[in-house]
Chains A and B, each alone.
Chain A
């Protein structure tokens, strides 16, 4: 199946439609919430939460023996929340920095989860197969009820976001100030963190424990490059996330043996890369172009000013001078001289140059502008 075929089938084929919808919704909700994680400088929180969810899946299976995703993800939610609040506890109660706390909880919970998974796999029970899909995710196992679940959570999340928009914003920007205004910052904090945990847990089945944090961070990091408004950033992150989901699914469905989760993450990474390079205000490309252009302009102005100084001492401003005398001037290049000729500021004759009236005037203006700026 090629990509074209995929897009013609996506509206009719049940499996494709389910997976595409699921990954799109997942990408949207994680992108949205990821913006908050990124702006709070808690980028690694997502990674810690997703890893912390693993033992919950295993324990949930051991207790109930069930394999349906909702039961297992409930376990993931519980252990994800426990991990998160332990991280908070470690940060507030000890002197450890947040990266240490995150790393500690991440590896501790993940190690415990792996231990349980191995234990389960050794059990003489045919039912255990498939738990390891939560490690790397398996979008193909999504069914309609999973998608409904995602849609409902996303809807609630959107509602809460709109309702407490002002509170979230002030918490993100200036927590202590928010506190002096009388907002219960702890409650807002818990609310937003809980939603982040919820979104991550929802994605475990599709993208898996290991790669889940990329879903949270990549769309948000890409979105930040394009805007200076929080609302636009959250909206763009949701769009990027959703498109990563759709394109990722399309690519993996059109090729054999391409696992959906990793492809989605790679598509999201392409969004990030593209944004880092091509964003007009923050992108590397335009920054470099602006830098070079600025430098050129300065070189040009400096050379012109130098010429002006020389011409000034003569009665006739267009009196010809040897090009050689420019060589001693830092910032003069053949290129700048050519540019000046093109602009009709300077005329060349043999090995001499002379300033035109236009060039003299523009150099004078430059001078007045500079002295004005100094005031």
Chain B
């Protein structure tokens, strides 16, 4: 059975200055996979996600979501940025941040109402943060802040989720809680793309993987392509990862 393609990237090239950060990326993300994007620092992992989401403007290439440009498919896509990308001392509460996830479907000017609030509370409950809904966000731990960001994406009720290092700086409990939610999303037929750093957990967490280092090295099912050969090609050193079987 041929899977539907959720995200299609063609000839994508991105550069901040002269040096390209991403070079000629072709990538197909099939529907319903839980995919890790791995690669060394500066490999362009975050850049790839940001380019797909239209935050960054590529020099060349195109991105389509279910065959149409991103601008027309926004409602199908949710984004979890890196936790460090915002100022957590901002004067607002956990619930308020999660409610921001409803702003997109509301559009300009319209305010969130009961319906949006209810959805946000449900999302908070899903990530186990309902008890913290009125907490000022600076008083949350790193792991809790990450869960809030995840809840904000969940409330968007999208088909495709892009997450930028959701496991960075979180403790083991939060990591397990997050991966369980991601696996639930996959079970519900959603596509999840995660920038990931911990190579050891790739086989355990993900079923699909993309190796990236400015160029795309490989992409495919973890069981077929997650091997020392591709790791060495990506990280440039002899990389040996012990895969538990």
Which residue numbers of A lie inside 8 Å of B, CB to CB? 39, 41, 163-167, 169-170, 172-174, 176-183, 224, 227-230, 232-233
Contacts and interface: CB of A to CB of B under 8 A. Distances in A.
A182 B97 CA distance: 17
A178 B100 CA distance: 9
Given A173-B100, A174-B100, A180-B55, A228 B111 contact: no
B93 A228 contact: yes
Q: Which of B93, B100, B107 gathers most chain A CB within 10 Å?
A: B100
Contacts of A39: 87, 90-91
Nearest to A229: B91
B77 interface: yes
A180 B79 contact: yes
B50 A176 contact: yes
B109 A180 contact: no
Contact of A181 (B93, B103, B109): B103
B81 A176 contact: yes
A-B interface, 10 closest residue pairs, ranked by CB to CB distance from nearest: A181-B104, A228-B136, A180-B79, A180-B53, A182-B74, A174-B86, A176-B55, A228-B91, A230-B91, A173-B90
B111 A224 contact: no
30 contacts: A164-B109, A165-B111, A166-B103, A166-B109, A166-B111, A166-B112, A167-B108, A170-B100, A173-B86, A173-B87, A173-B90, A173-B92, A174-B81, A174-B100, A176-B55, A176-B81, A176-B85, A177-B81, A177-B100, A179-B54, A180-B74, A180-B77, A182-B71, A183-B104, A224-B91, A228-B93, A228-B136, A229-B92, A230-B91, A232-B91
B86 A180 contact: no
A227 B55 CA distance: 32
Contacts of B108: 164, 167, 183
Contact of A173 (B97, B107, B111): B97
Contacts of A167: 103, 108-109
Nearest to A184: B108
A166 B106 CA distance: 10
A174 B53 CA distance: 15
Contacts of A174: 81, 85-86, 100
B90 A172 contact: yes
A65 to B, nearest CB: 44
A232 B79 CA distance: 29
B55 A233 contact: no
A372 B85 CA distance: 36
Contacts of A233: 91
B127 to A, nearest CB: 17
A130 B152 CA distance: 55
Given A165-B111, A180-B104, A229-B92, 6 more contacts: A164-B109, A166-B110, A174-B81, A178-B103, A228-B91, A233-B91
How many B residues are at the interface, by size bracket? 20 to 34
Contacts of A173: 86-87, 90, 92, 97, 100
Contacts of B54: 179-180
A1 to B, nearest CB: 40
A183 B77 CA distance: 14
Nearest to B86: A174
Nearest to A163: B109
B157 to A, nearest CB: 13
B46 to A, nearest CB: 10
Nearest to A224: B91
Contacts of A183: 103-104, 108
Contacts of B90: 39, 172-173, 230
A169 B103 CA distance: 11
Contacts of A169: 92, 100
Contacts of B93: 228-229
Nearest to A179: B55
A178 B81 CA distance: 11
Contacts of B110: 166
Interface centre among B54, B74, B86, B110 (most CB of A within 10 A): B86
A182 B136 contact: no
Contacts of B92: 169, 173, 228-230
Nearest to B71: A182
Interface in B61-115: 71, 74, 77, 79, 81, 85-87, 90-93, 97, 100, 103-104, 106-112
A114 to B, nearest CB: 36
Nearest to B101: A181
A181 B107 CA distance: 9
A180 B79 CA distance: 7
A318 B92 CA distance: 53
A113 B50 CA distance: 42
Contacts of A228: 91-93, 136
